[in-house]
Amino acid sequence: MSKIRAAITGINASVPEYILTNEELSNMVDTSDEWITTRTGIKTRHILKGEGKGTSDMGAEAVKGLLKKTNTDPDEVDLLICATVTPDMQFPATANIIADKAGLKNSFHFDINAACSGQIYALTTAAMYIQSGLYKKVILVGADKMSSIVDYTDRSTCVIFGDAGTAMMLEPTTEDVGIIDSIHQSDGFGRVHLHQKAGGSVKPASHATVDAREHYIYQEGQAVFKFAVSKMADVSVEMMKKHHIEPDDLAWLVPHQANLRIIEATARRMGIEKEQVMINIQRYGNTTSATIALCLWEWENQLKKGDKLILSAFGGGFTWGSVYVKWAYDGKNHQ
């Protein structure tokens, strides 16, 4: 019997309308378009506005569009996994809220938190449910309202992040396409360099934690940068070597969009050209759990069946990894 693999059979995204420019940020904190562009590559990011709007709203929008695009009856979906670091609430899982808003009634749902690697950790997890033969339709949501944990008085973090929601469908295939392999790693020591100080069980919310602005992202940028550059490149090169992928064989590197300099360093180490790299950080910034799917969604019409892709990410935790995907369909027929 042929091996069952999980194939990505559809992709969708929901991007909030409001665009926060470098110029607007320059009026909020001591920064400039020149600094942000040269240090990060970011020009604009999208921000979810409106009272009562959260991560689930972008996730549910993306899921509804995905169901339509893939002609899927919500009752057919077996499982929905949501990767996020900005859940609507501490509990219940945002995946449950998204499923409810999108009309999924016959499935179960849970969240995965692996910061910027959440989307690839969740992709591997979702693929295992398909490969095992247990489920036929799994939806993977990567969504974050980063603006809800960004301190807009801290110039070192507020210029980086944006909001977005994405959804992809995974289904079984016996063809030579789909999720071929994954390499994932974590190092809990990295938490000292990148975390949210309060709001968890160690330091629950109090007047003092709010006054000390401890509910926002705390990041030691340079330390994180150093790890991100080496680990994202290491794990991408390791995947190429493991599967004997020459630079010319690779259709696309789909990197997490944290910093243009990290993406360029990864591509250099892999020996690939910039034309082989999906980059949209200039328009969206770092949308954490959404970046990779946001790239796949934007490039969908250029993707061809059998294309070899390496998805690669590094994030808080620390967490990092790469996933080798052979694309399962001609994207231009799926718009």
**Interface residue list for ligand ACO (CB under 6 A):** 31, 35-36, 39-40, 115-116, 155-156, 159, 194, 221-222, 224-225, 228, 258-259, 262, 286, 288, 315-316
What size, in residues, is the chain?
Answer: 335
Q: How far is the CB of 95 from ligand ACO (least distance, A)?
A: 19
Residue in this structure with the two tokens 């899927």, named with its chain if needed: 72
Catalytic option among 46, 96, 286, 295:
286
Which residues make Cβ contacts (< 8 Å) with residue 10, sequence separation at least 6?
66, 69, 70, 72, 168, 169, 334
Left if phi > 0, otherwise alpha if psi is -120 to 50, otherwise beta: which for 133? left
Q: How far is the CB of 314 from ligand ACO (least distance, A)?
A: 6
DSSP state of 248: G
Q: How far is the CB of 249 from ligand ACO (least distance, A)?
A: 28
- CA–CA separation, 181 and 127 (whole Å): 10
- CA–CA separation, 167 and 186 (whole Å): 24
Catalytic option among 46, 109, 193, 256:
256
Q: How far is the CB of 8 from ligand ACO (least distance, A)?
A: 23
256 given a catalytic annotation: yes
Give 116 or 272: the residue with its C-beta nearer to ligand ACO. Answer: 116
- CA nearest neighbour of 167 among 308, 13, 6: 13
| Three-state DSSP state, 327 | coil
Q: How far is the CB of 287 from ligand ACO (least distance, A)?
A: 10
Residue in this structure with the two tokens 């801290």, named with its chain if needed: 154
Q: DSSP secondary structure string, 266-282?
A: HHHHHT--GGGB---HH
Catalytic option among 82, 116, 158, 295:
116
Instruction: For residue 295, give the amino acid letter.
Output: C
Q: Judging by DSSP bridges, how do beta strands 138-145 and 163-173 pair with one another?
A: antiparallel
Q: Which residue is nearest to ligand ACO (CB)?
A: 221
Cα separation values, 192 from 85, 224, 230, Å: 17, 10, 18
Q: How far is the CB of 32 from ligand ACO (least distance, A)?
A: 6
Q: What token pair was written down for 243?
A: 């599967």
Contact 274, 261 (CB under 8 A): no
- CA–CA separation, 217 and 291 (whole Å): 18
Contact 265, 229 (CB under 8 A): yes
Max Cα–Cα distance, the chain, nearest Å: 62
- CA nearest neighbour of 302 among 277, 319, 320: 277
Rounded to 5 degrees, φ, ψ at 180 are -90, -45
116 given a catalytic annotation: yes
Q: How far is the CB of 155 from ligand ACO (least distance, A)?
A: 4
Q: Which residues are catalytic?
A: 116, 256, 286
